[in-house]
Amino acid sequence: MQKFINFTSTAIPVSIENIDTDQIIPARFLKSTKREGFGEKLFCDWRYNNDGTPKKDFILNDIKYKGSILVAGKNFGCGSSREHAAWAIYDAGFKAVVSSFFADIFKNNALNNGLLPITVSQIFLNTLFQEIEKNPQITITIDINNQKIICNTSQKMNELFEINPYYKTCIINGYNNIDYLLSIQDKIITFEKKQPFKLNNQS
């Protein structure tokens, strides 16, 4: 995975609540086990007509809205546990998803794949939607080191967000689970050497 570096970007708002993983990436596209190529299928049934042409009224097809931050309605990623949903969002160029609530399985899948899910208060989320609607060029800063999200209006409104320390380390360094274990290999070896020898599971 790529290392996650603090960044500032415009955002794409999808204010629909209860977006499930089948809406994020329909089940008919789950045949591949490779992570690449899912970005163009993100929100496919909302994004394209039956003949494959873009739907003009869907936000991802509106040239006013660009950026690497997806701002989504409450209860994002509910439904089935497909990891492909996180793959599709990441492959579409998003580095972070902001919502007031994430389904637990989606949240873990996102973190395991380098996509940062940021949980904010409903009031903060509503304000983000309002500010982006007023000015699609407004930027948002993601400061993972200080666990802060900042909407760069004149008031510089901001909010702290929580992230598990293990996942924070992995996201910042671009580690998967194996990479993390290798990064602390010396500590593991030292710990094992200090353990009393056991024979046949007896102390």
| H or E, element range at 182 | helix 177-183
What's the predicted TM-score (pTM) here? Answer: 0.87
Tell me, what's the pLDDT at 87? 95
Tell me the per-residue pLDDT of 47-69, one tens digit each, with 9 for 90 and over: 999 999 999 999 999 999 999 99
Tens-digit pLDDT profile for residues 78-132: 998 889 999 999 999 999 999 999 999 999 999 999 999 999 999 999 999 999 9
Question: Cα–Cα distance between 201 and 203 in angstroms, integer?
Answer: 7
Nearest to 75 by CA among 162, 17, 13: 17
Determine which of 70-74, 106-110, 193-197 has the lowest per-residue pLDDT on average.
193-197
Whether 121 and 127 have beta carbons less than 8 Å apart is answered as no
Residue scoring higher pLDDT (157 or 200):
157
Q: Which of 113, 117, 78, 111 is nearest to 96 (CA)?
A: 117
For the purposes of burial, counting CB atoms within 10 Å of the CB of 66, is it exposed (0-12), middle (13-18) or buried (19 or more)?
middle
Average pLDDT of the residues of the chain: 90
Tokens of 59: 């936000």
Residue 203 clears pLDDT 50, i.e. is over it: no
Q: Are 80 and 152 in contact (CB under 8 A)?
A: no
Share of the chain above pLDDT 70, in %: 93
